Amino acid sequence: MSVKIRKSLVATALLGATAFASSNVIADPLNDIQKVGQQTQTAAKKSQEKIDNLYGQSQEMIAEYRGIIDETELLKVYNDHVARLVADQNAGIESFDRQIGTIDKTKQDVVPLMYRMIDTLEQFIKADVPFNQETRLERVERLRSIMTNSSVTTSEKFRQVLEAYTLETGYSTTMVASQGSLEQNGKNINVDFARLGRIAYVAQSFDQKHAWVWNNDTKQWDQLGEEYLKPVKSMIRIARKQAAPELVNLPIFGAE
């Protein structure tokens, strides 16, 4: 091979190498650009995901904040309500404290009053029409007994005294009948009793031949005439609910 031909081959080889080298030089930047673009897209995608997460978290925080604000308002209203309740309770406690401070003075006034009420009740019963007198006087003695009983509170003592007065008041509106004995001329006579409140208290022998009415002025039984036998019998039947109520003609003697 001649020198000229070898030079031509060398030149061709150099030209090919140059062209190959040139193509590599151009391809590498393109690849780098593509890689950079992909990396940019990946980074942008991650950034968007972070933005989306941050936005979601911010929305949750806003919702939580609003919930806290609403709850705070509710708590404020409730706290104001509780504060008013406490103020009212404190006022009640102060009132109770004042009342407690007067208890001793109240007891000093109430106890003598109860003794006077019991004495007055006894006097009234003894002056009253003598129905159930033994039972009524026993009630008075029980009241006197509890007055000296340290285990019974002052309020309970007062309640029982008032209850005794209430029972006595109730006798004025009742109509009742009972049986017993009546002493007349040294003899005990079995009789039926009938009482209308405190305005009429009569008795009639079992054989219905004799009748009496209590005279509270003279504190004794007055015998009635024959004209009263039937009215007394009617009153006894009415008191026993054996007959309908009707007008009965009787002499009346009430308690003074």
pLDDT digits (tens, 9 = 90+) for 214-253: 999 899 999 999 999 999 999 999 999 999 888 878 777 6
Q: Which of 122, 125, 112 is nearest to 157 (CA)?
A: 112
How much is the pLDDT for 206? 95
Higher pLDDT, residue 239 or 29: 239
- Distance, first Cα to last Cα, the chain: 176
Q: Which residue has the higher pLDDT, 40 or 173?
A: 173
Structure confidence at residue 253 (pLDDT): 61
For the stretch 96-137, pLDDT in tens is 667 656 666 667 788 999 999 999 999 999 999 999 999 999
CA distance linking residue 189 with residue 183, whole number of Å: 6
In this predicted structure, the answer to whether residue 212 has a pLDDT above a threshold of 80 is yes
Cα distances from 179 to residues 117, 142, 192, 205, 206, in angstroms, run 31, 26, 5, 10, 9
Q: How far is CA 158 from CA 96, 141, 142, 166, in A?
A: 21, 15, 13, 12
Q: Each residue of 132-181: pLDDT tens digit?
A: 999 999 999 999 999 999 999 998 999 999 999 999 999 998 999 999 99
**pLDDT for residue 21 is more than 70:** no
Burial category of 76 from C-beta neighbours within 10 Å (exposed 0-12, middle 13-18, buried 19 and up): exposed
**pLDDT score for 171:** 93
Confidence at residue 41, expressed as pLDDT on a 0 to 100 scale: 77
**pLDDT number for residue 156:** 94
Bridge partner residues of 202 (DSSP): 194, 213
Give the residue-averaged pLDDT of 69-95: 82
Q: Judge contact between 238 and 175, C-beta under 8 A.
A: yes
pLDDT above 60 for 22: no
pLDDT reported for residue 76: 82
Length of the chain, please? 256
Model confidence at 45, in pLDDT bands (50, 70, 90)? confident
Is 192:204 a contact under the CB 8 Å cutoff? yes
* Residues facing 213 on adjacent strands: 202, 222
Per-residue confidence (pLDDT) for residue 15, from 0 to 100: 46
What integer pLDDT is reported at residue 222 of this predicted model?
93
For the four alpha carbons of 62, 66, 71 and 75, in that order, the dihedral sign comes to positive
In SS3 terms, the chain reads as: CCHHHHHHHHHHHHHHHHHHHHHHHHHHHHHHHHHHHHHHHHHHHHHHHHHHHHHHHHHHHHHHHHHHHHHHHHHHHHHHHHHHHHHHHHHHHHHHHHHHHCHHHHHHHHHHHHHHHHHHHHHHHHHCCCCCHHHHHHHHHHHHHHHCCCCCCHHHHHHHHHHHHHHHHHHHHCEEEEEEEEEECCEEEEEEEEEECCCEEEEEECCCCCEEEEECCCCEEEECCHHHHHHHHHHHHHHCCCCCCCCCCCCCCCCC
The pairing of strands 200-205 and 211-215 is antiparallel
pLDDT of residue 19: 47
The pLDDT value given to residue 138: 97
The pLDDT score that the predictor gives to residue 14 is: 46
pLDDT of residue 151: 94
pLDDT of residue 71: 79
